[in-house]
Amino acid sequence: MTAPPLRLGVDLGGTNARAALVDQAGALVASCKLQHDERTPLAVARTVAAAVRQVAGQAGVAVAGLGGAGVGVAGQCLGATGMVLNAPNLGWRDVPLGDLLRAELGLPVRVVNDLSAAAWGERAFGAARGVDDAVLVFVGSGVGAGLILGGRLHEGGSGVAGELGHVKVTPRGAPPRRCGCGEWGCLEAYAGGMNLAARVREDLAEGRAGAVLAAAGGDPGRVSASAVEAAYLGGDGYARELWAETGELLGTAMANLCTVLNPTRLVLGGGVLLGCPNLMRISRAHLGDRTLRAARRGLSVEAAGLGDDAGVVGAALLGAEAAVAHDR
């Protein structure tokens, strides 16, 4: 069987499930985003199924005719087994998401980490198009990476390769911060948007970070990486210190990744990096300084090209490949 002309991709985050039908050129023919009412695995699977029915309806096709589904999940996934080991934003541990979705959709389902899906999408149609050795690093509410090595998606021995957010980076002179994954001193505990905001709120309680609070309109609940960036632009010393530390941690982790994997393309994305040009600049300066010189040669750094669509597009491609393999 050949792959059907429309491919079904799902991007599953802590707040929304987004389904899309993607054509052969990577364009979204139909798209639907639904918010989770509750985050129990069964409720989320039903929300995904509802979003899938909506996009099928928009495109005038039957769900059963779609062949298969690819689902990118913000969490640690046990490769092609469909098991989600740990998804902090959904509050999940050891959830058999693939089985739940197969039952709801009646289709073969390929579950994959959301950044692996995004890397595959960027490689097919975005900033890593046609590149065989590409690394994608996203810094948004969390931090993660997707790895294309030798033209293939690299998911590792058990499927959790690319968890850049959970490399340990405790800065000098400070006790490690706790990460959403339950471990201590992870990069994401310092550079992920949710943890950055939490840290600023802690510093507010100690009488620091006033300029960041002002940039957030005086509401501690609206403190964010963008507010730090705004305070930085205003010359605030606290924001400068925070960006100096965060940029050093991020840039060094990315440099180490490039030193180990020797990609020819590094694709950077996510709301925190793309929305905070000064954090991007500082991170890239450390990336340039700290990548092994031999690995720096031939490395180009690009901003992600598909925006929020990379994940659904990549998931759709991976789902279609899995469906073809399933039918063989």
In angstroms, give the least distance from the CB of 107 to Zn ion.
32
Nearest CA to 320 among 126, 41, 117? 117
Which one of 10, 164, 179, 317 is in contact with Zn ion (CB under 5 A)? 179
**Considering only 69-77, 160-168, 245-253, 286-294, which stretch makes contact with Zn ion by CB under 5 A?**
160-168
CB-based contact 133:148 (threshold 8 Å): yes
**Considering only 183-191, 214-222, 224-232, 314-322, which stretch makes contact with Zn ion by CB under 5 A?**
183-191
Amino acid at 112: V
Is 183 among the residues that bind Zn ion (CB under 5 A)? yes
In angstroms, give the least distance from the CB of 188 to Zn ion.
5
> Of 194 and 239, which has the nearer Cβ to Zn ion?
194
Task: Tell me which residue has tokens 């020819």.
Answer: 264
Is 177 among the residues that bind Zn ion (CB under 5 A)? no
Is 7 among the residues that bind Zn ion (CB under 5 A)? no
CB-based contact 17:315 (threshold 8 Å): no
Is 186 among the residues that bind Zn ion (CB under 5 A)? yes
Tokens describing residue 289: 């300084």
In angstroms, give the least distance from the CB of 191 to Zn ion.
11
Number of residues that bind Zn ion (CB under 5 A): 5
**Considering only 22-30, 163-171, 192-200, 282-290, which stretch makes contact with Zn ion by CB under 5 A?**
163-171
First to last CA, the chain: 8
Question: What CA–CA distances, in Å, run from 146 to 36, 121, 297, 325?
Answer: 25, 10, 21, 22
Is 166 among the residues that bind Zn ion (CB under 5 A)? yes
In angstroms, give the least distance from the CB of 170 to Zn ion.
12
> Of 101 and 253, which has the nearer Cβ to Zn ion?
253
Is 74 among the residues that bind Zn ion (CB under 5 A)? no
> Of 83 and 179, which has the nearer Cβ to Zn ion?
179
Residue numbers 11-30 binding Zn ion by CB under 5 A: none
User: What is the C-alpha to C-alpha distance for residues 310 and 162, in angstroms, rounded to an integer?
Assistant: 17
> Of 9 and 88, which has the nearer Cβ to Zn ion?
88
Amino acid at 75: G
Is 181 among the residues that bind Zn ion (CB under 5 A)? yes
**Considering only 33-41, 135-143, 164-172, 196-204, which stretch makes contact with Zn ion by CB under 5 A?**
164-172
**Considering only 36-44, 165-173, 213-221, 303-311, which stretch makes contact with Zn ion by CB under 5 A?**
165-173
**Considering only 90-98, 113-121, 180-188, 307-315, which stretch makes contact with Zn ion by CB under 5 A?**
180-188
> Of 82 and 144, which has the nearer Cβ to Zn ion?
144
In angstroms, give the least distance from the CB of 202 to Zn ion.
18
| Contact residues: Zn ion, CB under 5 A | 166, 179, 181, 183, 186
